[in-house]
Every structure is written in C-alpha cells, then in structure tokens.
Amino acid sequence: MSTISPAVEDKQYLINKLTAQIERLGNKNERRLTKIVKINEKLNDKRESISNSEDSVNVLSKKVTEKNQRDKELFEKGLERRNNRLSRSEKRLADLTARVENYRISIQEWTNKKIESNRLRAEKRATAVKSVTRDSILEYIEKKEMYISILEKRNSQADALTIEKQNLITKLKEEIEVLKNKPKTKIKLVKQETEPVTETNCEPEVQEETELEPEPEIEDVIEENSEIAETQAIAEEEKIEEIISTIEQTKKQYFKPLQNLRNKANKK
C-alpha cells in the first residue's frame, strides 16, 4: 500500500478548500444575480406603474378640464336663460302695468258714462211719469166735472133730489178741490152703483176703479242712481288697487332675486 506524502495532502486540501470557496462564491454570485434580477423586475414594475400613473394623471387632468369647460358653458347658458327670463318678466310687468292703467282709464270713462246715462234716464223717466200722472189727473178731473154738470142739469130739471145725490155732488166737488191742490196724492176712483147719467134719462155715470200712483221726485231718482254709480266706481277702484298691490308683491318676491343674481354674474 502506497502512502501519500504530506505535500500532496496539503495540495489536495488546498484544492478542495479552493473548490469549496469557488462553489460558495458561485452560489453567492448566483443569489446576488437573482436579487439583482428581482430588483430590476421591481424597478421595471415601478417604472411601468409611474408611466401608468402619469397617463392616469393626464387623463384625469383632461377630464377635469373638460368638466370645468362644461360647467362654465352650463353656467353661462343658465345665466343667459335667467337674463332672458328676467327680460321677459320685466316686459310682462310693463305690459301688465299698461293694461292696468288702460283698465283704470276705461273703468273711469265707463263710470262717468254710466253716471251720466243714469242721470239722463232718471230725468227722462221722472218727466214721463210726471207727464202721465198729470194727464191722468186732468182727465179724471174733466170726467168728474162732466159728471157734476150732468148731475146739476138733472137737479135743475127735476123737482127734487134725494139727500144721497146731494151728498155725492158735494163729495165729488171736495175730491176735485183736493186733486187741484195736491196733484201728487193717490186717487182712487170708487165705482158708482147707480146707473149712467145722460141728458135724456138724467141718471149718474158708472165710473171704473182706478188708482194713480204719486209722482216721484226727479231729484230723489237722480240721487239714488248717482249713489249706485258711485258705489260701483268705488268697488272698481278697490279692485284696481288690489291688482296693483298684487303686482308689487310679485315684483318684490320674484324679480329682485333675479336682479341680484344678474348683478353677481356681472361682477364675476
């Protein structure tokens, strides 16, 4: 059996030791390379993430810009619509004010015409009633006088008259005097129960029952119609005042906020 010299053993030991060191360094370098590869992969991922983030930021910035532009356009359109509504409202208010003024003038003219028409109609009606009443009274007086003349003629031709006929003549004369003194009182003609009077038979004339209304006063009728027309005019004036008050309240409630909004928009 051969023996190995110490020098050879030392060399073999060194070789084995170096080989072991080389293997350890190789393993260590491999691990370092693996770490470097992983680090590079992470760096690539981060670069990609940063690139994606930049793209996202750009997209988001673009969206924000577009949204701001849309909001600005919508605000301008809304402001324009509000201004248009305000202009239309002011125009309607002016038209309504003009219509109310025309309505007030027309009501005043109508009231004046109505008062004048009522006054003229009252005067005409009172004059007509007065004329009819006087004509009726004159006709009644004429008939009574004719009847009295017939009775007196019969009294002159007859030898004697009864006390009743004498009283009738006296009563008729008293009624005639009353009618002449007071033409506006009611007259009620009493139907006579005796036979009609003529020149041949000398009997009393039959009278039908009629009633004459008292003559109305022209001043009272005119005053009553004037009061009615004045009451109507006052009611119309109150109605106009109420319309104007409603318009003012509407103006304060709706138009003033719109004006404030317009002023704010102009300041911007």
Domain positions in the chain: 83-267
Q: Is pTM beyond 0.85 here?
A: no
Nearest to 89 by CA among 204, 255, 223, 260: 255
- Dig out the tokens for 62 from the structure: 């673009």
- Dig out the tokens for 133 from the structure: 């009443």
Are 92 and 258 contacting, i.e. CB atoms less than 8 angstroms apart? Answer: no
Q: pLDDT digit of tens for each residue in the chain (268 aa)?
A: 445 566 667 778 888 888 888 888 888 888 888 888 888 888 888 888 888 888 888 888 888 899 899 999 999 998 999 889 888 888 888 888 888 888 888 888 888 888 888 888 877 776 765 555 566 666 767 777 787 777 667 666 555 555 666 667 677 777 767 766 765 444 444 444 444 444 444 344 444 434 444 444 444 544 555 566 667 667 766 776 776 677 667 666 655 655 665 565 566 5
Q: Report which secondary-structure segment, H or E, holds 160.
A: none
- Dig out the tokens for 257 from the structure: 């906020």
Integer CA distances (angstroms), 117 to 157, 217, 222, in order: 59, 18, 10
